[in-house]
A and B are shown apart, each in its own frame.
Chain A
Amino acid sequence: MEKRKSLIKIKPKKYKTGEIVKVSFMVMHPMETGMRKDKKTGKIVPAHYINEVNFTFNGKPITTMKTWESLSTNPVFTIYFKVPGKGELKVVYKDNQGEVNEKSKKIKPKG
């Protein structure tokens, strides 16, 4: 299993409790459609795409996504999130080949 690079970005960087912030989640993933042919071998590259992305805060679900291969390579998901207080924002993502990965970021509101 390959290790995936992923990143959670929060904008603005400084925020208060109750403020609505933009959360971007980026992940390096090939997102193969299963219809592309390898130019060297001529064989069809098997489908490999993210099919589930779940955003949770302290274990409570915020946003759940079901996705298909029509998303771009290295997809980005941006949503808004109302900061309820201190805690941990966690993103769990699964793909159709059974990989399950997660990435988390601490939420520390100021004031």
Chain B
Amino acid sequence: MQRRSFLRGLGLAAAASTVVVPGMVMAAEAPKGPNAFSIDAAVQAITGGKPVVASPKVHLKAPQIAENGAVVPVTVEVDSPMTDDDYIKAIHIFATKNSNVRCADVMLTPANGKAMLATRVKLGTSQDVMVLVETSKGEFLSASQNVKVTIGGCG
């Protein structure tokens, strides 16, 4: 590589990093802001200390590499008959490293027919997307997947 082009590349990289910095700093720091909430506290608030089991019944679909963190499609499907006695009560979606980890709490009813939720979330950095599912019997199931983010979505 020629020295000139190398330096130019370096300059561009520096310029890019200065632009990105506010968002990156925000994502890397400890949670702050009006709705800051850590993942442990969020899970604790929902389960009330009950055990959470990682279950193959919960299917979490999210891209492994997201080019743009501002729009990351997430789909959660849970195997359940969805009858009056046995149904999925709630699906909670968390982004474990966002400043507010909570994305959505979804309360389902047997009228849904199938337990599924698809939405789009913002991710600040590469992190795990975690799903916590509450069944009508009071069990808590979970699933998580790592998503690599090329450009952060906050900032």
Q: A residues bordering B, Cβ < 8 Å? A: 20, 24, 31, 33-37, 47, 57, 60-73, 75-82, 84
Contacts and interface: CB of A to CB of B under 8 A. Distances in A.
Interface string B1-36: 000000000000000000000100010000001110
Interface string B45-71: 000000000000000000000000011
B117 A78 contact: yes
A64 B105 CA distance: 8
Contacts of A81: 111-113
Q: In the complex, which range does the number of interface residues on chain B fall in?
A: 35 or more
A68 B102 CA distance: 6
A73 B102 contact: no
Contact of B114 (A20, A47, A64, A72): A20
Contacts of A62: 109, 111-112
B108 A63 contact: yes
A71 B104 contact: yes
Most buried by A among B100, B113, B117, B122: B113
At the interface, is chain A mostly helix, strand, loop or mixed? strand
Contacts of A79: 106, 108, 112, 116-118
A60 B115 CA distance: 18
B104 to A, nearest CB: 5
Contact of B72 (A24, A31, A37, A72): A72
B39 interface: no
B105 A72 contact: no
Q: What 10 A-B pairs have minimum CB-CB distances, sorted nearest first?
A: A82-B113, A78-B118, A20-B113, A80-B114, A72-B120, A70-B103, A66-B105, A67-B104, A64-B107, A72-B71
B144 interface: no
A65 B104 contact: yes
B104 A66 contact: yes
Nearest to B22: A37
B154 interface: yes
B154 to A, nearest CB: 6
